[in-house]
Structures are given as structure tokens and as C-alpha cells.
Amino acid sequence: MQHKIIDIEDVVIRFAGDSGDGMQLTGTLFADSSALFGNEISTFPDYPAEIRAPQGTVSGVSGFQVHIGSVEINTPGDFCDVLVAMNPAALMANAKWAKPTATIILDEDAFDEKGIQRAGFKTMNPIEELGIGDRNIIVSPITTLTKESLKDSGLDLKSIVRCKNMFTLGMCFFMFNKELDHTFEYLERKFKKKPALIETNKKVLKDGFNYASNIHAIANTYYVQPAKQEKGTYRNINGNQATAWGLLAASEKSGVPLFCGSYPITPATAILEELAIHKELKAKTLQCEDEIAGICTAIGAAYAGNFAVTTTSGPGLSLKSEALGLAMITELPLVLVDVQRSGPSTGIPTKTEQTDLNQALYGRNGECPIMVMAAHSPSDCFEKAFYAGKFAMEHMMPVILLTEGFLGNGSEPWKIPSMKDLPEIHPPFIKDASECGGKFSPFERDPETFVRRWALPGTPGLEHRVGGLEKSPAGVISSDPQNHQHMVNMRAKKVAHAAVDIPPLKVIGDESGEVLIVGWGGTFGHLYTAVKEFHKQGKSVSLAHFDYINPLPLNTEEVFSKFRKIIVCELNSGQFADYLRAKHQKFHYYQLNKVQGQPFIVKDVVDAVNNLL
């Protein structure tokens, strides 16, 4: 049968299955192929904390949503056009995300009595029970077909069944008129040492593709044109990789070797893993015995003259609090990356949130202001990590960079920047005792920037001592009341002064009007998409998204003052709104908050803003 190819602007596909079904890989390969083809993409891995959660249960369902388009794409999409459900539990957990017009692909083999019961259905008819009978449902015996495809492969049954995700991927590639080449190349790389597996996986992928083209159920296939992107070289990148690369870029630009002391923690671990690869760029990584050692080795490395980094997530930030104070009072450069996850305590480790803001701003003893910045998209993690390094090294202070699980794991196409276009980084090294008349005072500062000099052990004549005890400018222990007040003031002024180097807050949309949506961090895509919808409708709604939180951009008040209403949207109970209330008291702040371990849905934002119009 000749199928019809329909051109569409954008489409959302959600792959869902058991946590061992390989859905993350399937989704990633689909996203990468689309990106290479030139589509805009945004991805959202949504998986359980357990590596192999109880099979067939809703708690063990792992999902991966990818949004591809020929137009600008800023979110992974709220609801999906295509849902792949590898078992009844995946359908149970994800049916609510399928649009009324969605196509749903099911593995018939998994929908036996036992599977349906394990998923928690009350009847033996999940489709009727979920009330999704009007969707375009394609029921295929994917497991059986995979077994058939690979019966002569020589693989054992378990390994064969594991290939069913490739069969499914083949079907999806057909549905969206995608080439298989990219995935072939991936398989060749991945199984370089096991050539048999290359052929096996290629075969099952092709068989899935061909199967989809033969069945009548898929009458229409879809074609998403390449997006009109700016000229340049692109790659696909996720937030954690971008963070690692941004840090490496800051190391190269400053000429200061990178040291990262860290402890594995979801969802930040991938940054440490990525840095550990790049020894060729002189990056040293130390997987420590705990989170505290992570930051303390970094502080030691900073004292010795390295660009010090420690990476973590919420609970790890708690453990690092005391040492952050040490980095602050010794005025040593350090970048702490917190890939936020759902809390408090262990919370829901694999789910995203913005609930560490208060901890980043305030979570230390004593007067201890620290620069806090946030990345707003997966690829923006590169730039923010770079600037975190620049601020830390040039201003001689710790900087907290907040990202989110949603950004760290999510990926998007990225126009590769040229290293030439990144600014220089000039740490205030003191190279020689003659620069200070032979007597080095570690806490003497530049009168304008309040920044102290960085003297490295190994330099003759600059011997000095720093530490957690309050010091005089000369570096001598001091409990003098006036000196303490002075040092507290100086350290605070130094952080506040960094605002001079922060880009002004930008307004997306008109610079004055009815409603200003205010956001920070990883909600940017959803807020921006909402604002675009308002603009289509001709409504007076603008967006101001904060990448710099402490200090705030200098024009914050000016921006706020031009709108009648301000609504602060964030994935916590109102931490940034409260911070703004303290810093800019004269405005009234409406709030939109969500603490469900999930990103916003654009519709939530649109509805909340409509209530103010």
C-alpha cells in the first residue's frame, strides 16, 4: 500500500517501557538522528531512581520524550503525538500524556493477563479502561517479531528479547521518514569489539522499519523538515556535558588547569564522568570518599593554583555547606555546580526541581554571601559554566552554578561556539614578591573591585597563611571587632560588585505592558513558549528570565517597574519570589509554583497568566 507522507511543523514522541527495556537509548538515538538531520529538538528523560525497578510495575516505568520540529523548539513538549508503550505499565503511566489525536504503539506480547494485572489495571481491557479507544492504536507483537528477526543470530533468548527496543526504533524511523545511517554508525562505534552485535542490531532495526512499512495500520507517515537554523556547525548536547565543557573552556581560556573533586550523585554524576575523560586537556578529577572531601580537595587545589570545581546535587550541597564558608572566607576561586533534584533529603532523586535556591543563597553559617547563577537550557550550561569559572577566578570567590536534572539530562542541538569568541579570563595572580614590595598581605584588595591577589605556593617570598579563622588584611588571625566588621563588609561588597560584570536583564517581548513573567533556570523553555503563544494572540505579556541571581542584574528594578503585574514562575514553593520581595520590596509578586518533580506544562503558565490579564 502506498502510504501518504504528511508534512508537519513539530511532533512529540514519548518512548515508555520497563526500566530495563532500553527506552533511554531508544529515545536518545531518535533524538540524535533528528538533530543530525537538522531538526530542532528538545528531550526529557523521565526515569525511576531504581536501576531495575520491579518489572512490569508502574513504578518501574522509564520514559524518554523527544520533541522535534522544523520550527524553533524550546521544550520537550507537554503532550505527545506518538506514544510507544512497551508494556501495560508504560501505558498506564503515560496514557495521560497522549494527545487526543495521538498514535499509540503497543507491544502486544506484553499485554498478557499477568502484565495487565501487574500494571494495576482492574480489567483485562486497558484501552477501554483508560478511555483511549479513539486514539490511533497500533498493536504489534514486537517481542515475537524481534525473536523471529533474530532467530538465526546465535544469540540467547534473553539477549534477543533485549533487542526489541531497536525493532521499535525501526518502526518509529519509518513513521517519521528518518534515515537509519546515524544509528548504524552508533552501533558500529558501540559494538566495535563485538562485530556480531553490530549486524544483529542493524538487522532488527531494519526489520522493524520494514515491518512498519508493510503493515496497513500506519497509513500516514510524517515528515518534519529541517529547521531554519543559523549558519554554522551544530552538535547535539545535554546539560551535564555542556557544563563539563564550559568548565574545560574556562580552564583553557585562563590557562589554569582544571581540578574537579567530586562524589557521584544523581543527576550530577555525568559531569564528573565527562571531566574524567578529558585528561588530554589537563583536567584532573578526583572521585572522593565523600561530598565534603569533594569540595575540600577542590579548595586545596585552588590554594595550590588550579581552577577548582566540585559538582553535586542538593543533598551534596548540604554536606558541602561548611566548606563553602571556608572557600568564601579564604577568598579562593571555586565553582560548585548543583544539578538540582527533587528534595528534601533524598527526595525523588531522578526528578527535576528548583528547590535548592534558598540553600544556595543562604545555607551557611555566618555572613556568607556567595555568587549564585543558573543555566536556562541544556546548551546554556556551557556558557554559564564558563562564566562561573570566569567570575570565580577573576573575583577570587566561590560561585554556585545551579542547573537542574531537567537540563542536565535533557539535550538540544547547539551551534558550536568558537573559542575565539569567548572572553579572556585573567585571574589576579601575583607572580613575584616585588609586586608587593616584598611583603605579601593576602587580604589586601583592589580598591575598586575588592578582589584580593592569588599567590601560589612555590613562589618565593609570598609565603602566607589563610584559613577559616577571621584574619586582618595582612593575613594575621584577628578577633578585633572592628576588623571583623570590616572584613564582613569587604567580602559582601566584593560579591555585590560582581553585578557590574553581569549582563543586564533582557526582556523578551515589549519592554513595558500588562504582565511580566519572571523565571530563572531551566523553566526558560516553557516560559518562553508560553510568551510566544501570548504574542501570537497579541496579548501584552513579556518574559524576564534571570541567569544571575546573586547579585541580581543592576537593571532589575528598572525592568520590573514597567509592568503592571509581575508573576514569578518556578519549580518550588516560591523561593525566588521571596528573594525578590526582600531585594526589591516595592513590587507585588504573583506566583506560579509547582513541586511535583516535573517541569512546567506550558498550559499551566498560560492559564496562570490569563488569570492576571
Footprint of another protein on residues 405-464 (CB under 8 A)?
A: 415-419, 456-464
Q: What is the DSSP letter of 268?
A: T
Least Å distance, CB 40 to another protein, is 11
Q: Which of 5, 157, 196, 477 binds another protein (CB under 8 A)?
A: 477
Nearer to another protein, 248 or 270 (CB): 248
Cα separation, 255 vs 502, in Å, equals: 22
Classify the C-alpha dihedral 420-422-423-426 as positive or negative. negative
Cα separation, 285 vs 531, in Å, equals: 41
Are 376 and 239 a contacting pair, CB within 8 Å? Answer: no
Least Å distance, CB 230 to another protein, is 7
Nearer to another protein, 274 or 547 (CB): 274
| Contacts of another protein in 3-32 (CB under 8 A) | 32
Cα separation, 612 vs 514, in Å, equals: 9
Least Å distance, CB 138 to another protein, is 30
Provide the residue count of the chain: 613
Nearer to another protein, 72 or 289 (CB): 289
Show the cell assigned to 210: 520494514
Show the cell assigned to 457: 605556593
Least Å distance, CB 241 to another protein, is 10
- Regarding 100 and contact with another protein (CB under 8 A), the answer is no
Amino acid code (one letter) for 569: C
Beta pairing class for 411-415 and 371-374: unpaired
Least Å distance, CB 248 to another protein, is 6
Q: Which of 235, 484, 493, 497 binds another protein (CB under 8 A)?
A: 235
Least Å distance, CB 459 to another protein, is 6
Least Å distance, CB 267 to another protein, is 22
Contacts of 574 (CB under 8 A, 6+ apart): 568, 591, 593
| Contacts of another protein in 212-231 (CB under 8 A) | 229-231
For cell 510566544, the residue is: 532
Site string for another protein, 101-120 (x = CB under 8 A): --------------------
- Regarding 270 and contact with another protein (CB under 8 A), the answer is no
Cα separation, 337 vs 387, in Å, equals: 12
Contacts of 518 (CB under 8 A, 6+ apart): 543, 544, 545, 546, 566, 567, 568, 569, 576, 580, 589
Pick the closest to residue 21 from 168, 120, 140, 138 (CA basis): 168
Nearer to another protein, 411 or 529 (CB): 411
Amino acid code (one letter) for 496: A
Amino acid code (one letter) for 251: S
Q: Which of 80, 85, 116, 249 binds another protein (CB under 8 A)?
A: 249
Nearer to another protein, 202 or 253 (CB): 253
| Contacts of another protein in 310-349 (CB under 8 A) | 322-323, 325-326, 330
Q: Which of 133, 344, 438, 468 binds another protein (CB under 8 A)?
A: 468
Half-sphere exposure of 339 (CA within 13 A, CB side): 34
Site string for another protein, 31-70 (x = CB under 8 A): -x--xx-x--------------------------------
Nearer to another protein, 63 or 413 (CB): 413
Least Å distance, CB 593 to another protein, is 35
Nearer to another protein, 465 or 506 (CB): 465
| Contacts of another protein in 143-182 (CB under 8 A) | 182
CA dihedral 291, 295, 296, 299 (to 10 degrees): 170
| H/E element, 571 | none
CA dihedral 461, 465, 471, 472 (to 10 degrees): -10
Query: Phi, psi at residue 574, to the nearest 5°?
Result: 120, 35
Query: Phi, psi at residue 16, to the nearest 5°?
Result: -140, 140
- Regarding 473 and contact with another protein (CB under 8 A), the answer is no
CA dihedral 146, 148, 154, 160 (to 10 degrees): 20
| Contacts of another protein in 277-306 (CB under 8 A) | 278-282, 284, 286, 288-290, 292-293, 296-306
Least Å distance, CB 202 to another protein, is 18
Nearer to another protein, 164 or 320 (CB): 320
Pick the closest to residue 464 from 322, 331, 324 (CA basis): 331
Question: Could you tell me the end-to-end alpha-carbon distance of the chain, in angstroms, rounded to an integer?
Answer: 51
| Contacts of another protein in 505-564 (CB under 8 A) | none
Q: Which stretch binds another protein (CB under 8 A): 78-86, 113-121, 244-252, 547-555?
A: 244-252
- Regarding 275 and contact with another protein (CB under 8 A), the answer is no
Least Å distance, CB 68 to another protein, is 14
